Amino acid sequence: MHLARFARIRLAHLPTPLEPLPRLSEELGLDLWIKRDDCTGLAGGGNKTRKLEFLLGAAVEAGADTLVTQGAVQSNHVRQTAAAAASHGLACDIILEERTGSKATDYVGNGNVLLDRLFGARLRTVPGGADMAAELEITAEAVRTRGGVPYVIPGGGSNAIGALGYADCARELVVQADDMDLAIDRIVTATGSAGTHAGLVAGLAVIGAYIPVLGIGVRAPKDRQEANVFKLAEETAALLGQPGRIARDRVVADCDYVGEGYGLIDQGVIDALTLAARLDGIVLDPVYSGKAMKGLIALARGGAFKGETVVFLHTGGAQGLFGYQTEIEGALR
């Protein structure tokens, strides 16, 4: 990969740490490591910062003065986009979808929403199930009407430009592992809007490091999630100059741990949050990394990773915990 060909604005604290999780490893019966993309720095960190380096670069190159994006009410992507815009003197217009239907005070006003406002983003809320592509264009047109130049970023920053951030992460991770003489058998991470998962798959393929990536789904059913990831991985590899590089069987998603739906948490998620926190001091989020850890724990206890060295890619999002305070406190054991 020669990523210097692409416009990029450095936002993240890189490389992020690659660390062992000794007590979780003992508990689950595998050699478990963690790639700390909760430590990317911007607005408290998270996986979207890597994507935003390329997306913000493209926006500035295009002469934009306003970033336009969307996400669920407690979106980590929205928080990091608002911070990226603020840090470079751009305006930020955001559409928040009431995807979970929650009207709880902490959900609609605390956590990521509070930070969105702190960063000066202009917020607009739409009902769950709204056509978000259409809503993005409505907002972009409003920016043009008031004399601005919008740059539209899809939900999660998940297009081929954004996925370059995780193609780069794949390279970074392999370099770190090689320096440690660590042979990785599998990478496990949350898969939602597809950019992180697709970027990893594309990056590993392009550099010839065919480490299996297991995405634990947080929203869509398996067939749709894998199709979305595969399409974006193909587009990312093509952008990197290697079209046709992605084999379909390299894209694997397990969507059995979504629970009642996106952003809806259950006792299994809270137990996963608690186990990671109390055994290795790791703070996960309730929507993405918490569900991914819920899946990893269940699979490990079922013998799925026996004898393997597994890297869990932490996508960040702990700021969203404060939007779920009532639910989590009531279910802690």
- Report DSSP state, residue 122: E
Q: What is the pLDDT of residues 1-31, one digit of tens each?
A: 899 999 999 999 999 999 999 999 999 999 9
CA geometry: angle at 49 spanning 111 and 244, to 5°?
A: 130
In sequence order, what DSSP letters do the residues of 252-276 get, joined into one string?
EEE-TT-TTSTT---HHHHHHHHHH
Tokens 């949050």 -> residue: 273
- Would you please indicate which residues are annotated as catalytic (active-site) residues? 75
Whether 186 and 310 have beta carbons less than 8 Å apart is answered as yes
3-state helix, strand, coil in the chain (%, to 5): 50, 15, 35
Quick one: pLDDT at residue 214?
98
In sequence order, what DSSP letters do the residues of 26-82 get, joined into one string?
HHHTSEEEEEEGGGS-GGG--THHHHHHHHHHHHHHTT-SEEEEEEETT-HHHHHHH
Q: What is the pLDDT of residues 174-194, one digit of tens each?
A: 999 999 999 999 999 999 999
Quick one: pLDDT at residue 333?
74
Whether 291 and 258 have beta carbons less than 8 Å apart is answered as yes
Q: What is the pTM of this model?
A: 0.96
Element (H, E) at 243: none
Q: What is the pLDDT of residues 252-292, one digit of tens each?
A: 999 999 999 999 999 999 999 999 999 999 999 999 999 99
